[in-house]
Chain A
Amino acid sequence: MSMQKDIAEISYLDFKGKYKGIFSWIFSTDHKRIALLYLYSILTFFVIGATLGLLMKFELIAPGKTIMDAQTYNAFFTLHGIIMIFAVVIPGLPAVFGNFLLPIMIGAKDVAFPRINLFSWYLYVTGVSLVLISQFAGQGPPDTGWTFYAPYSFRTSGTMLPAVFGAFVLGFSSILTGLNFLVTIHRMRAPGMTWLKMPLFPWTLYATGWVQLLATPIIGITLLMIVAERTLHIGFFDPTLGGDPLLYQHLFWTYSHPAVYIMILPAMGAISEIITTFSHKTIFGYRFMVASVLAIAFVGYFVWGHHMFTSGMSGTALYTFSLLTFLVAIPSAIKVFNWISTMHQGSIDLQTPFYWAMAFIFVFMVGGFSGLILGSLAANVHLHNTHFVVAHFHFIVFGGTGFAFFGAMHYWFPKITGKMYDTRWANIGLVLFFIGFITLYGPMFYLGFKGMPRRYYDYDEVFHAGNIISTMGSWVLYSGLAIIIINLFASLRSGTIAPSDPWGGKTLEWTIPSPPPVENFEEIPIITKGPYDYK
């Protein structure tokens, strides 16, 4: 009995299991350790991807060749896209914060399948390694963009196979994470935690799990078809053999649009948690929040065509996809209204995570509104494949998911590490990050509107001014990022000890010590109240 009590009290960071040293991490099936494995790998690839972006922006500081030629630039935006999409933002919030917090927030000791959880991390590492191998093996790195559009993806001399197969493996890893979360939520909620007593972050992970499960296989089979096309010349998407490249685009976006919701839904969940906690007030319209999450996940399946407005579709299809695209804006807007209403008459505690949440709402709205411009048919014809799309996309994916990721990082950092961070440096980092972000991507709206196409290393002189501003923004953004990351790492060493509930949060993770013990709860809690009980 005393042995068991020790395990219940010792923190997951200090726990000595079967394995020593690094093996106690890479062989651990503890969801918290797996979350940190994901965190460190994702952070590494994020820094690699961001550095590629920085170099690309430097290339664009002046027309003509600055530091790289056309082919290198093509390889850079391809690798930047593959890494950032498949290895950073898709797994980002679910694999790191979902893994760490989902079991705790629903009052469980682990996920339903701990070993599959660890396996999914191995798949993740394998997938990214394959993508990286493609950079150095064969006749040169892939240069198709992250979308692998047919027929170029099986005509180019670049090393496509490892990259495409790597993306396939990453998809499989994502499926297993989603599957694990779905079963965990269905089977392992603490007694008394009915569906509508579940906090919003688990709710968003639940919706995300379904999207991961039901959309990812489509990209899986599509990527396999590209592999078969390159190796066996089957003719699926090759017009010379009777195939249809447009069909590839349909299949690709059938997954890749819902994938945007894999990225943004958990981000919305994390933001909901942060705003409630720092407003010290129950979330406004809990049921509407849940319904809007499910609505976004559902409608998100039926809007993929808006990536293909200029590719050639029937008029009926165009109108339908455009209308459905506008429909998605409604549940997203409900969330924004509810976040603002939550703050109304709350007693707001202005802390770093709350600032991140505010910044998130701002950039998410800019991204969302520019999405509506792109979703309208006439404007789309003008803006398609310009920098406007790049700006919109980065406002949503980097601005949305990225800001929420760092917000979540600063919100749950005390819980995960048991240390508080230096608030002053965290805020300085955030301000630089935000200013840099707006300066980097803001001008792209203008440049795109004026007609600057994306994915070229060169541009006409008339676009020069906007590009200089944008490139300077990338430097500010990168410095902000460096300060944020250095500050968090420095706080790991020198931060003060975190109490179990530094922010006054009400969800279950704040009821256990920081960092959490190995088995999370000494005794599984019995839930009698809603998740945000601030009365």
Chain B
Amino acid sequence: MSMTTETHRDDLASKTGMWLFLFTEMLLFGGLFVVYSVYRYRNSLAFHLAAHELNVFIGTVNTIILLISSSTIAMSITAIQKQNKKLALLLLGVTISLGLAFLVNKYFEWGEHIKEHIYPGSPVLALRGQGDVLFYGLYFFMTGLHALHIIIGLVFMGIVTAKVSRNKISHDNYVLLENSGLYWHLVDLIWIFLFPLFYLIT
């Protein structure tokens, strides 16, 4: 157990810390899921009708994009373990591009709603009744918060990519990549719940 503060490294501790942090993220969204359930219960008809207006096609595409990106980042970890830096960088690049593609889709999706004057605080939306106000309020807030997490994840992956290319992350020291992967999987997982809640359950 001889160690100094400078050289001390404990990958398991880092990963434990990341898992604990993911708990807090889940609870953060958990609060929103509770709010969603309460209002869905109280406005089931309005939620049912409003859900039909969302673009299931874009939603499905985005789900597939996130699922593939989760697998590419997982593969990049394996690539690093096998000391294949080039492949790891390529896979990280693919993951980042997929994340960006998700955001682009989201941008067009949101843009479409806003063009129809459907956004929180919009007078047109207010006329449609409280159920719609709540559905779209929750939709914009929850997918918005999720998009913010995508952006944070992309920043992490940008940092990780830079570190891989400068050999700061390598086959014997890749916990940062693993933790970014865990974070990305969480972002993916939350979407797996958001997608049916808003698009599919009607």
Contacts and interface: CB of A to CB of B under 8 A. Distances in A.
B34 A251 contact: yes
A188 B8 CA distance: 11
B130 A242 contact: yes
Q: Chain B interface residue count: which class?
A: 35 or more
A175 B39 CA distance: 29
A235 interface: yes
Interface string B117-129: 0001100001001
The interface residues of chain B, by DSSP majority, are classed as helix
A463 B149 CA distance: 53
A113 interface: yes
Interface stretch (A132-140, A211-219, A425-433, A477-485): A211-219
- Max chain A C-beta neighbours (<10 A), residue from B16, B20, B21, B29: B20
Given A183-B20, A217-B25, A242-B39, A236 B34 contact: no
Contacts of A218: 27-28, 30-31
Contacts of A213: 20, 23-24
Given A175-B24, A217-B28, A112 B13 contact: yes
B134 A242 contact: yes
B49 interface: no
A235 B133 contact: yes
A243 interface: yes
A150 B88 CA distance: 49
A179 B120 contact: no
A350 B149 CA distance: 55
B61 interface: no
Contacts of B42: 242, 244
A499 interface: no
Nearest to A224: B145
A220 interface: yes
A233 B121 contact: yes
B131 A242 contact: yes
A191 B1 contact: yes
Contact of A182 (B12, B20, B133): B20
Nearest to B24: A217
Interface of A: 4, 29, 109-110, 112-114, 116, 175, 179-180, 182-183, 186-188, 190-191, 213-214, 216-218, 220-222, 224-225, 228, 232-236, 241-244, 247, 251, 519, 524
- Listed from nearest, the 5 A-B pairs whose CB atoms lie closest are A242-B130, A234-B137, A221-B31, A217-B27, A233-B121
Interface of B: 1-5, 8, 10, 12-14, 16-17, 20-21, 23-25, 27-32, 34-35, 38-39, 42-43, 120-121, 126, 129-131, 133-134, 137-138, 140-141, 145
